[in-house]
């Protein structure tokens, strides 16, 4: 019967042995292995909107569900898609074709297809990464202890960080300040949300957000527009309404049940983090405070693309 799809989910097609025909059929519809696609909406065989294929009892009818797909970050790659002949998104694809070859964005199996696809789209970036990987061993060991690299995978930090940006991240312990962009391991509450949606995380999975609340901050509240107040003031950071990547507003349900929509005070070892794109970011509004021990680093530079190079030793990109 294939896997279950949900509206709003991000999926990654991959080359799957024994399913070459399905992969080729998807290619003809501009759905390529290794590219992140968001399911914008879904309709059953009669054209009626549904939220999940799990709501269809009959296997044959489930295969006929139409998924409206759009690449994540497509606005940043319009020239690429026009070159391939795509004039508009989303594109509708039957669930039956995708069910055997599509993984969740968080699934470990999607990693290699995404790397191959990214190299094909931007060989300069990944040639640079390969050159770094081939650095003489003593230097590489030193670098591994203090710095690492991180590629932005989603739209949750737009417009500050765009999908595909390559960050240089310092891994040494530093004092976290309000406004810092940090990388962290998911707390249990976030991990539960991801696994309950049928996705998987590896032990090395990291997320990136901006610290807006520090230990001891009080009176944290969320208004009807998804904005956060801390200590009676608006949370620090850029205008969080500049991203429109989620027209379905699927974030709204998460916020209604959010663990961080109203907190009396942050504990002595907790911080509150937000994405710079409130329309798509699953952050402390949804899963609550972040233990400081989960923070593993902060970006000190955006090194690719070169047109957006920025050095930020204070951690506030």
Where in the sequence numbering do the catalytic residues fall?
156, 209
Q: Backbone phi, then psi, for 255, in 5-degree steps?
A: -70, -35
Cα–Cα nearest to 275, from 285, 265, 266: 285
Q: Which helix or strand (DSSP H or E) is residue 167 part of?
A: strand 166-170
Cα–Cα nearest to 111, from 50, 49, 33, 171: 33
Cα distance between residue 283 and residue 269, in whole Å: 17
* C-beta separation of 315 from 178 below 8 A: no
DSSP letter string over 239-290?
-TTS----TT-THHHHHHT-TTSEEEE--TTEEEEE-S-TTT---HHHH--E
Cα distance between residue 89 and residue 153, in whole Å: 20
Copy the structure tokens of residue 264.
């009396």
């Amino acid at each position: 019967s294939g896997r279950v799809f949900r509206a709003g989910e991000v999926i990654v097609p991959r080359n799957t042995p024994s399913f070459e025909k399905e992969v080729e059929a998807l290619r003809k519809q501009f759905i390529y292995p290794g590219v992140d696609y968001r399911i914008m909406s879904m309709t059953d065989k009669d054209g009626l909107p549904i939220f999940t294929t799990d709501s269809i009892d009959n296997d044959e009818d489930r295969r006929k569900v139409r998924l409206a797909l759009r690449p994540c970050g497509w606005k940043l790659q319009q020239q690429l898609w026009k070159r391939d002949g795509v004039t508009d998104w989303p594109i509708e694809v039957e669930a039956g074709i995708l069910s055997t070859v599509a993984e969740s964005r968080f699934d470990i199996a999607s990693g290699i297809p995404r790397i191959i696809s990214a190299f094909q789209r931007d060989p300069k970036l990944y040639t640079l990464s390969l050159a770094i990987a081939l650095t003489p061993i003593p230097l590489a060991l030193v670098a591994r202890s203090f710095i690492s690299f991180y590629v932005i995978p989603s739209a949750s930090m737009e417009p500050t960080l765009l999908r595909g940006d390559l960050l240089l991240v310092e891994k040494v312990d530093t004092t976290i300040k309000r406004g810092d962009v940090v990388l962290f391991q998911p707390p249990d509450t976030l991990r539960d949300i991801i696994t309950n949606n049928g996705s998987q995380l590896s032990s090395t999975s990291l997320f990136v957000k901006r610290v807006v609340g520090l230990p001891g901050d009080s009176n944290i509240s969320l208004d009807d527009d998804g904005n956060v107040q801390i200590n009676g003031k608006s949370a620090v950071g850029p205008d969080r309404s500049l991203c429109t990547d989620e027209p379905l507003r699927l974030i709204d349900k998460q916020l209604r049940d959010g663990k961080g929509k109203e907190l009396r005070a942050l504990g002595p070892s907790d911080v509150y983090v937000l994405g710079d794109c409130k329309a798509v970011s699953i952050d402390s509004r949804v899963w609550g405070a972040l233990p400081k021990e989960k923070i593993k680093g902060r970006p000190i530079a955006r090194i690719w693309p070169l047109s957006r190079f920025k050095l930020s030793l204070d951690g506030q990109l």
